[in-house]
Amino acid sequence: MPEMPEVQGLVVFLGERAVGRTITRTSVAAIAALKTYDPQITALHGAEITAASRLGKFIVLSCGEDLHLVFHLAKAGWLRWYEALPATLIKPGKTPIALRVALDDGSGFDLTEAGTKKSLAVYVVRDPQDVPGIARLGPDPLAEGFDRDAFAALLDGRRTQIKGLLRDQSVIAGIGNAYSDEILHAARMSPYAIAATLSPDDVDRLFAAMQQTLTEAVAEASGKPPADLKDAKRRGMQVHARRGEICPVCGDTVRSVFFADRSLEYCPTCQTGGKPLADRRLSRLLK
């Protein structure tokens, strides 16, 4: 799933390549992906892209102040950029392409989604806050003014496991499964730790790990074309998606806990006092 760093990388790329260009055509290949009908998507035709920005994991392409193309890539979506957009017709149901956007210099991009579970979402709105997922977003962890005390206030009183809290977009915007694994590993903290029980030192350590992990990942993603972003993400991971590999910090073996549609990865020595975590459904440490 693309998370804040990759989405920010896409925003930087689109800011360099798409801003200033005029949208000449849009082709919707997956009708279910288009979540709005007013304004119609054809309102984008002839509109100049004036800005590219990120809100959580949402990408916003603005055409002036009152028209915005917003999309969320969900779990299996991606953006495929073309310097020369293919002229072939898109056949709905026969392609992973959900949306094609053509620009006035012949370039453009596709929004694609792999797999059978379709969650990619596209919106055409007058105000990005009209998108329900954006209206519910919590603060951005790299936003100016989001400091340690603001972070501590979000944790205060929450009887929630810290892994789930970091992934909750209504609490903190932009972090998903992968970077929550990385942040918790860097903080040497169990994913099952309860937010409300963290000590001030724990909060200090977790906030510092979050800031450093995300800042470094955003810097690594910025400037890379979309085709290179996924590989850059994988190379930067210390524990996520590295089950069975050696922890680069302590040399222990990275372990996994499996859920219905995802897993978490962690290092027992670094994060859980050497004890392997039980399956999440048991909600306890193995004795």
Inter-residue long-range contacts of 156-159, CB under 8 Å, 24+ positions, other chains counted: 156/196, 157/196, 158/195, 158/196, 159/194, 159/195, 159/196
Q: Which of 117, 230, 234, 262 is catalytic?
A: 262
* Cα–Cα distances in angstroms (integers) from residue 133 to residues 3, 77, 123, 170, 214, in the given order: 15, 17, 11, 9, 21
From 2, 96, 141, 191, active-site residue: 2
* 78-95 CB burial, b ≥16 within 10 A, e <16: bbebeeebeeeebeeeee
Neighbours of 232 (CB within 10 A): 15
> Among this protein's residues, is 224 annotated catalytic?
no
The catalytic residue among 17, 21, 54, 57 is: 57
3 is catalytic: yes
- Residue 74 has a CB neighbour count (10 Å cut-off) of 16
Question: Which candidate in 3, 6, 182, 265 is catalytic?
Answer: 3
Question: Has 2 been annotated as catalytic?
Answer: yes
Q: What stretches of 89-199 show up as alpha helix (H) in DSSP?
A: 132-135, 148-155, 162-167, 177-186
57 catalytically annotated? yes
Give the span between the Cα atoms of 70 and 246, in whole angstroms: 40
**Main-chain phi, psi angles of 32, to 5 degrees:** -65, -20
Q: Which residues are catalytic?
A: 2-3, 57, 262
